[in-house]
Structure 1
Amino acid sequence: MFRTILPEGQIVCDRYEHAEKGLELYTDDDEFIAFVPYENVHALLNEDVYAEEERSIM
């Protein structure tokens, strides 16, 4: 699972694809969630890498 951090919030998705000008976000059933232009993506986090209690935001 991935968490896309945007200036105005977050979008959780199961997979993503790089497009020419941004990210296409999808559910695990391959349903399209959103297109996010690269300039609006602050971060793309892999939720499987860190457990929630191990994360620190400064």
Structure 2
Amino acid sequence: MYHAILPEGQIVCERYDHTDDGLELYDADDNFLAFVPYSNLHALLDEEIYEADDRSVM
């Protein structure tokens, strides 16, 4: 799982695809969740990294 960190929160997704303008996020059933422009994306974190570090990512 991945966490897409945005200015207004985060979106948890199972996988993502890069496009020219941003990321397309998908759930475990391969349903489209959201398109996130690179300009709005603060970070994309693997869940293992996200849970292993107690520091804030914001």
The TM-score range, normalised by the shorter chain, is 0.7 to 0.9
Larger radius of gyration: 1
Q: How does 1:18-37 map to 2 (within 5 A)?
A: 18-37=18-37
* Unmatched 5+ stretches in structure 1: none
Partner in structure 2 of residue 41 of structure 1: 41
Extract structure 1 runs of 4+ deviating beyond 2 A. Answer: 52-55
- How far is 1:54 from its partner? 3.3
Per the normalisation by structure 1, the TM-score is 0.86
How many residues get paired? Answer: 57
Partner in structure 2 of residue 54 of structure 1: 53
Per the normalisation by structure 2, the TM-score is 0.86
Q: Which has the higher helix share?
A: 2
Task: Report Cα offsets for 1:12-58 as digits up to 9, x if no partner.
Answer: 000000011000000111100000000000000000235x3533127
